[in-house]
Amino acid sequence: MTDREKAIRAVETCFDSWIDKHGYEGLDLHKVERVKHDALELLKAQENIVRCKACKYWDDTSEGRYIGGWCFCDRLKFSTSPDWYCADGEEKTDAAD
């Protein structure tokens, strides 16, 4: 399950869990449902973010390229940290890229 899918699942259940625990004290349930709906729509519309460590362009195998946890990005032509990301990121596949 991706981080995006986890976030969607969390939003789907968080409002219901809160209401189950605290009841309806002072809540406008229509507004709560609207916020939940809007949050889910925004999350579902987002593209999947590929972190550098999971990107096919991030090279941590070449000698001399792995420095202090940073590795070379063959797409951007400079080093990035494992948790960074960019618009050009593409998920690694099991097949040779």
Same domain, 73 and 87: yes
Separation CA 23–CA 25 (nearest Å): 6
Angle made by CA atoms 58, 84, 47, in degrees to the nearest 5? 95
> Which range is most confident: 13-22, 35-44, 64-73?
35-44
Its pTM stands at 0.49
Same domain, 63 and 93: yes
Same domain, 28 and 54: no
| Domain carrying residue 80 | 49-97
pLDDT recorded at residue 97: 47
Check if the beta carbon of residue 20 is closer than 8 Å to that of residue 48: no
Same domain, 53 and 19: no
Question: Both tokens of residue 8?
Answer: 């969607």
Same domain, 40 and 69: no
> Cβ of 90: how many Cβ atoms within 10 Å?
12
Cα 67 versus chain centre, distance? 25
30-63 per-position pLDDT tens digit = 777 888 888 888 878 877 788 888 898 887 776 5
Question: Both tokens of residue 58?
Answer: 């991030």
Average confidence (pLDDT) over 55-81 = 77
Same domain, 36 and 55: no
